Amino acid sequence: MSEDKNPTATFSDDLIGFAPVELPSRGAYYKDGDGILDVVHVRPILTKDEKVLASTPENKIPETILNLCVKEDFDPKKLLIGDFEYLFIKIRIMSYGSDVPISLVCSNCKTVYNAELDLRELPCSYHSDKDHPEPIPATLPITNKEVSYRLPRYGDVVKALNKSNTLKQQNIKVSFGKTSAKEESAVIPDTTSVDLLNYTILTVDKMGSTEKERFVKEEMPQGDAIYIRKQIEKNMPAPQSDVTHLCTCGTVITKKVSSNEFFRLDF
């Protein structure tokens, strides 16, 4: 008779196949009340989920997928954007496999390259210690003001987008992502990224909240805003989804692959 090696796992858990995933944040950014630890368990999207997803508004699909496929009971809006993205990629790999067809276009000679991206090979930056790192202090380079900020959560994105209501939720990572400033301004309406900045900047000098909001949304020089966005990008533990390819003409093609491109396959 063999010994039961894992007596706490239930039959249905085994059947569905939850897998442990270590979050890029290692749980350091969450408070006890958030209910998010360093490791969460995810399962693939099942046929029974398709019915739920078919009746879900498109802008709520990423959040609904996490609610369905994460074993732990927490609000996905509380996840750091990087953790959210990482879980989303893991669920995609478990559901549909890790190969993603992508096409790259050379900005110089317009040659199109069709390639396969293996999502398992995406590098990821992890938070390095267990202490809660927020609020994070910074000195603005142009105005020399002392600020404190936190990293954006998925809920911040939802809130900012509900205000502007012009973009799908996934596009937001462009704002705090790895794209160039040029692409950023082409994709993200200013109001959304300014609202996000206002949510994540907690204090400016000794300003009261009304004064702080006016400074962030109206009076802050662009150089200060860009500096804080770069700090957020640098500090955000997250998967890095930049793909680069050297064109035969000598141009380096760089593309950020976003999850809405690769998540669902066409059948």
- Residues lying near Zn ion in the complex (CB under 5 A) are found at 106, 108-109, 111, 247, 249, 251
Write down the least CB distance from residue 194 to Zn ion, Å.
Answer: 35
The region that residue 118 occupies, defined by phi over 0 for left and psi between -120 and 50 for alpha, beta otherwise, is: beta
Closest distance between Zn ion and the C-beta of residue 146, in Å? 46
> In angstroms, what is the minimal distance from the CB of 117 to Zn ion?
19
What's the closest the beta carbon of residue 115 comes to Zn ion, in angstroms? 14
Q: Is 12 exposed, middle or buried (0-12, 13-18, 19+ CB in 10 A)?
A: exposed
CB of 102 to Zn ion, least distance (A): 16
**Helix or strand run (H / E) with residue 229:** helix 222-235
Amino acid at 78: K
Cα–Cα distance, 104 to 182 (Å, whole number) = 18
The three state secondary structure string of 187-219 is HCCHHHHHHHHHHHEEEECCCCHHHHHHHHHHH
Question: Shortest distance, CB of residue 10 to Zn ion, whole angstroms?
Answer: 55
Nearer to Zn ion, 9 or 109 (CB): 109
Q: What is the spatial distance between Cα 99 and Cα 197, in angstroms, rounded to a whole number?
A: 34
Which CB, 48 or 110, lies closer to Zn ion? 110
User: Which of 123/250 has CB closer to Zn ion?
Assistant: 250
d(CA 80, CA 154): 6
Nearer to Zn ion, 222 or 244 (CB): 244
For Zn ion, which is the closer residue by CB, 107 or 128? 107
Q: Give whole-number Cα distances, 135 to 86, 132, 152, 174, in Å.
A: 23, 9, 12, 23
- Of 45, 67, 46, 64, the C-alpha closest to 55 is 64
Nearer to Zn ion, 39 or 252 (CB): 252
